Structure 1
Amino acid sequence: MVMTGSRREELSVRRVRSLLAVAEHCSFSMAAQELGLTQPAVSQHVKQLEEQLGLDLLKRDKEGLRLSSGAAALLPAFRRFLSSNGAILDQLASLGQGAEQILRIASPASYAALFVVPVFQALRERFPNHILDISEIDDEESIRLVRDGDIDFGITSVFVPSPGLHFEALHQDFACVVMSEFNTLAKEAEIDDDAIVSQPMIRFPSGTTSHDWLSAIMERTGVEPKTIAEVRQLVTGFHMIRQNLGVAVVPEGAAKACELPGLTTVPLSNRSLIRTLGILTNDSHHPTDFERTLVDHLRNKSKVLAE
């Protein structure tokens, strides 16, 4: 069965949410627990979605329960569907409270904390009824969001020249190593590649600057360090480092934005690892006065720090 044009607008948020929960946990029972539903209800949601799409979405084999190839191909679209629905509800709530504009941006957490937040605070008196919607992203996902118009602009260190997209460099920072103050290397003035790979590592996801830099160090040394944990959030990783479980290679801005008692930051002796952050925009996008003013302030703040 193929979904007809008249049925393309009938996708249910509940059904898609249930499918993604099952895919995340590889379990109907765990998905039901997360969603606060019964297991039969989650199973029914998935079955209804399969019937609507005319596609088997899940398969069970010797590896367990997982998405079918067709569902895997649709997974990014399903996630965007839920994200867009949530964004609409959030924006409606804000507009209902008198907001004049919601500026949607994506930014690495460190840049948002050190640059965007202070600038937004400085503009509050001039734009009191404007809301800033920040997605903390530090990978190629920001390119898609800008291209599709899901955000107004992105701050990113990842950019591949693409028709219709424009990248303007704003800020640079170098790689450093974050470690516990009790680490034997904590009193060093700088750290070389060999010393880094001798340490147990707290690693961040593929596609992030931290992951790419560690990969570069591993390639230079030919050594793969022992991985203690893989985490997605800086704060979680830094708390693990604080307990002296391992170290992490991160941008200086990330280390500064997530300073915690008991942590030490040591620069790399090899200064070739540089993160260039810039603003990514879509040529077809027309910025508002609030957006233009915020971007101008970000430019000025970056210039001051660079001087």
Structure 2
Amino acid sequence: MNGFDADRDVYRTLLESTKAIPWKIDWHSMTFSYIGPQIETLLGWSPDSWVSVNDWVERMHPEDRERVVGFCVSQSQAGTDHEADYRALTRDGDYVWIRDVVHVVRNEEGGVESLVGFMFDISERKHTEQQLIRLQKELEELSYKDGLTGIANRRMFDATLEQEWNDARRRCQPLALILLDIDNFKEYNDHFGHLQGDDCLRTVARILSRAATRPRDFVGRFGGEEFALILPESDARAARTVAERCRQLLTEQALPHPAALATPTVTLSLGVSSLVPGEQDCPLAFIESVDRLLYRAKQSGRNRIEAG
């Protein structure tokens, strides 16, 4: 064995002793001239089954195929080294996350001669990334959720109102807002205690969620015993109908409230308004106008709706 063959054997031994899977593709024939035996340990496919680029393509997850193949081909044609992550099919029918690191080899004329690279198993890393993404999503959802009632919180109310306001103004559509308050809630807490008061808040939240039936209707806790409903594409009449449904559903629930002066059950006071936002209008002024209607309902005897 001459020195060149010895060196080549050493290099091959080094390559095949790593977890990374080396490979080489002839650019003109689009065939594998080499792929490390580690590929069989990882995916179950024997090295001699990797004949052409089509074998690589067909063993890629269908959802990744178009994106990855298009990217790799364009980068290779441009002579640019690149990396690509994708799911590779195992012989058992499962998928393993792979990162392909590709180096473009040029000939003396500057044309692409071959592609050489390494495949890395990144399944564990991807699993960790996906867990982090799920955790981040859960934390984001929690940041917009009221911890006591499970419905949206004030932060989500502000974000939703801004979004729906801009949409309504752009499309010249009406937007309705309902602000409502549990009547004599302080007296309820004083009589039953705060734990039962929390149960009352949760019950009201569930009832309001039943009253707002369309997918885009928003129900949230505005603060304390006050709640809010945002109703896109709802005029004053439609908004009042939803408000009356809220009041009626709670009446049917008949939650006892011995400390209330007017009625023996828990009731609601509601302020309702609708408008088509114009360039001179602003959400804060709209909220304040509906809040004044709610205050008027409270001052006028409670358990009633004031619309404007």
Query: TM-score, length-normalised on structure 2?
Result: 0.19
Higher relative CO (Cα under 8 Å, sequence separation at least 6) belongs to: 1
Greater CA radius of gyration, 1 or 2?
Answer: 2
Query: TM-score, length-normalised on structure 1?
Result: 0.19
